[in-house]
Structure 1
């Protein structure tokens, strides 16, 4: 497997590998690993790629690669997958991840799927997805960040925590819910989650996030990522950062 784009950073107590994959490689490389570690139906089970596709077609009427924009997992997640799925049963792209983790055990993968086109809204969506996936990397690899997330989570009323668990239960195993809740806040996907926090707590979380990932470093990565997308997809009318980008000076 050859990623369309990849870049590696030091992050927290390990390293994060940012990757852009074609839809086929995204499916064959990430679907079973991610479902093995975090899906409430497939977690800890052995299953085929076709079973994942059939499940989401039944549940949402979409294939995995049509439904999901990004994926994330750690080297330890990959190792657990490798222990459950014998080499003969693995996809070539899955074996690629296993080989990478055998070289280094402190990796975290933040993976994006190549969009169908390079229109401005597609580039912006990739930016949001990258922010989301990097939030997962921080949660895994930076204990003070994880502690802050749990402090914010514990500040919510118990009935609200139950509502969030119920809302995410279809997509995520229970041990992933807090991590996902925070990642959605940081990527501003769903205003309902953003509104769980006061303005001051929200700004505190954003400040810790940006100082942890290094905003200037991430801006350079986003620029390079956009260039890769533009070279593989239909050109949009403009390749500038979309208005409202979280990287703008006004943010």
Structure 2
């Protein structure tokens, strides 16, 4: 039997909490063999992003080709791309191979607020990658960036999702961790397919250790898809996983610490998940 194989195309986080490092940890803990294409190297820790070095477009294209020529990728996720040129390079390169379902995490900002996507790249993201996305996982600032809609409730989320569907996305997961009612005990995500929608609630934890939340969530969705889960089951399980990873914090760094990737291997997740 062939081992499930999954690919991440993203930036490197030297602090180990987000990006390529978070994705590979997630893949491993969820039982999928992870491969990677690095688009950028960041000098980063829990206190912030101190430097970004973009990898050459030629090398990124060759990394993608190396994966495509040897591995059987059942699903893949794309995270930090940074520039319009990188977006165009990645989009062109992945079209040459059958990598399965695409989970697109439109990474625009680091946890501390540093910009990870140039303004000039937003139109390229909409044009090149949104039409390819089977699952799109924006947080609220990224949703506003892509649609112009600031989500405060489910009606706002539905309007934003409709715009994203029109841009070609199949399933939209709007992550509500930044909602105005952040003092609520509930963290709410909005899931929209073209035909139906769901609300997923989980406990909200009072912790600064949330670095890598978005990367880990999208990587978990990709891992479950490559193992044969349907889209909604993958999203629901990823929500359970990230709730467990946040709810069982580990102590690393002096700022926004990483989520607990060890928690992703558990079969029984802490906290309740309501639909």
Same fold (TM over 0.5): no
**Going by fraction, where is strand more abundant, 1 or 2?**
2
Rg larger for: 1
- Compute the TM-score of the two structures, normalised by the length of structure 1: 0.30
More helix, by proportion: 1
Higher relative contact order (CA 8 A, sep 6+): 1
